[in-house]
């Protein structure tokens, strides 16, 4: 893991000296680290699924089985949802989607990206 901390001090007319600067910069970095949150970054692939309302349960099972995160949804004559799928699950997810094609569940694999988990 690579980490970088940058502390900027605006001179306000008070000279701190070497030890004062070291202390001020150290305290600034300490406060930033204490306030920071550790976030996992996941590599994902976006997938759009279009399906009839009658297949909502089948799609909900896909969400649970493959750790999908819904990004957007549109409810018209059919349901269209955009999901983020962890790249590690793409192979099994595609297999599961192909098994639902006979139920009018279609999909389109889109670009890969990263999201905070």
- Per the CB < 8 A criterion, the answer to whether 20 and 98 are in contact is no
pLDDT of amino acid 76 = 96
Write the pLDDT tens digit of every residue in 30-77. Answer: 998 888 888 889 999 999 999 999 999 999 999 999 999 999 999 999
**β partners of residue 72:** 82
Specify the 3-state DSSP secondary structure of 37: coil
- d(Cα 72, Cα 105) in Å, to the nearest integer? 17
Architecture of the domain whose range is 41-116: 2-Layer Sandwich (3.30)
Q: How many CB atoms lie within 10 A of CB 85?
A: 24
Domain boundaries, the chain: 1-38, 41-116
Of the listed ranges 4-13, 39-48, 74-83, 84-93, the one predicted with least confidence = 4-13
């Amino acid at each position: 893991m690579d980490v970088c901390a940058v502390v900027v001090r605006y001179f306000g007319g008070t000279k701190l000296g070497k030890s004062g600067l070291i202390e001020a910069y150290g305290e600034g970095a300490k406060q930033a680290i204490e306030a920071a949150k550790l976030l996992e970054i996941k590599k994902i692939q976006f997938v759009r699924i279009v399906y009839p309302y009658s297949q909502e349960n089948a799609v909900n099972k896909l969400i649970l089985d493959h750790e999908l995160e819904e990004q957007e949804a549109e409810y018209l004559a059919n349901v269209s949802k955009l999901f983020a799928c962890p790249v590690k699950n793409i192979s099994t997810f595609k297999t599961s989607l192909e098994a639902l094609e006979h139920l009018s569940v279609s999909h389109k694999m889109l670009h890969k990206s990263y999201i905070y988990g």
